Copies of this chain bind each other. A is one copy, B any other.
Amino acid sequence: MKKYEEKSITSTPVYDGKVISLRIDEVTLPNGKTSKRELIKHPGAVAIIPITATGKIVFVEQYRKALERSLVETPAGKLEPGESPEITARRELEEETGYGCEQLTYIQSFATSPGFADEIIHMYVAEGLYKIENSASLDEDEFVEIIEATIEEAELMMKNGQIFDAKTAYSVLWVKEYLQKR
């Protein structure tokens, strides 16, 4: 869909970093005027909703420097260049939780901040979880703690703000409906 398309007249790179890059585009608007758009490029990511045999959800708690606080989130991680989202999902599940899974099912993809960033998260549900001996370890600048919670506990963590990001809030609502149907 290209309704109201904004075509770039100029595109100015500002920063090219480890995770994100930033450029400023001057664009033509549908009314013929021009405007500036500040645009973040991100490699994309996966998020996984791991559900245990007893119907608990496996979350990870980690510090998020951008918010200066810790958050309880679904396991997630950036796509490596050329890596398919399913491979990333299996890798991140193992690295962050120590779990492998028998079934990994794609749910949905979505953009996180369409107003300024191209980040897309691919969501999966992981079932048939099993512990991996000597599982692959986290990146050396990652520190996470595993939290296994029932859906009621997860809803409570949403209310008290421990769960505080969009992908995880979405995950909690999604799992609730999924477990009711199962």
Contact = CB atoms under 8 A, between A and B. Distances in A.
Interface stretch (A50-58, A65-73, A84-92): A65-73
Nearest to A119: B113
A145 interface: yes
A129 interface: no
A22 interface: yes
A128 interface: no
A156 interface: no
A33 B141 contact: yes
Contact of A108 (B1, B27, B158): B158
Nearest to A176: B177
Contact of A170 (B25, B42, B173): B173
A112 B6 contact: no
B18 A38 contact: yes
12 contacts: A1-B70, A5-B63, A29-B143, A64-B111, A64-B114, A66-B114, A66-B115, A66-B118, A67-B111, A73-B114, A78-B115, A173-B177
